[in-house]
Amino acid sequence: MPQEQERQSDTDVAGWLGTYCIILTPRFAVTDGFQNLRFTLYIQETGMRFSQIDRIIELVPGEKLVAIKTLSLAEDYLQDHFPRFPVMPGVLMLEAMFQAGMWLIYATDEFRHSSVVLKESRQVKFADFVEPGSQLRVIANWKKTEEDRVVMQTEGLINDGVAVRGRLILEHFNLADRGLAVPEIDEYLIQERFKQFRRLQDPRNPYNSPFDKTKHSSLNGQVG
């Protein structure tokens, strides 16, 4: 095999799957236990690092989700964005709206799919800065469903004023259905998603999910 073809066959496919940054290669698509262990440990290590939501405060499956993000001066990226005027980057404001929509899809689908990705953003407009100490109130409204895609109208508010808004198209699926991983990886991701979802819930107003963990063998006895 020519060297160029050999490199191409082993090319890493990088994909944002919600808050997980996952590197998928042909090595992870096999049933080899060691490779799957490497894959799951990598997911576990990076899973919470990119979360842009602190708490889910309102949830109506199939309709609406409201979450909050309080910006801390301790965020690493604020050292460079910007040294004399630290503000939340616009791409992370967009990420917060995506994650609100992502959790609305998970709750509505009762965690049937392991992955939710942002396929398209439309009419995104920024109107205000999010400074350290400010609380971004993120709202995702479910507008319509198109097969495995969901159209969301989202916005982020600061003191009831719009800081950012946009129309997002999200897609949900299982990795195994697309030949990207073995089914056990989907099971593991669903388990981790549900645990993270539970941590983000407001204890004063918990959402009693109809999610049936018996649908997912890897969750039995592990999610409380």
The pLDDT tens digits for 30-66 are 344 444 545 555 554 445 457 899 999 999 999 999 9
Q: Which domain holds residue 18?
A: 3-219
| Number of separate domains in the chain | 1
Q: Phi, psi at residue 195, to the nearest 5°?
A: -65, -40
Specify if 80 maps to a domain. Answer: yes
Percentage above 70 pLDDT, the chain? 69
The string of pLDDT tens digits covering residues 64-76 is 999 999 999 999 9
> Does residue 224 lie within any of the structural domains?
no
CATH of the domain at 150: 3.10.129.10
Residue 205 forms part of a structural domain: yes
Residue 103 and residue 67 in contact, taking contact as beta carbons nearer than 8 Å: yes
* pTM score of the predicted model: 0.78
- Active-site annotation, residues: 81
Per-residue DSSP letter, 65: E
Contact by Cβ (8 Å): 149, 119: yes
In a domain, 81, yes or no: yes
Residue 50 Cα distances to 20, 62, 92, 96, 198, angstroms: 7, 25, 9, 10, 17
Answer for the pair 30, 19: CB distance below 8 angstroms, yes or no: no
For range 98-105, the mean pLDDT: 97
Look at residue 68 and tell me if it is in a domain: yes
Give percent of the chain with pLDDT exceeding 90.
Answer: 62
Side by side, the strands of the sheet bearing 149-158 are: 55-60, 64-70, 135-146, 149-158, 161-173, 115-126
Instruction: Find the farthest-apart pair of alpha carbons in the chain and give their distance in angstroms, rounded.
Output: 61
Angle made by CA atoms 169, 171, 177, in degrees to the nearest 5? 165
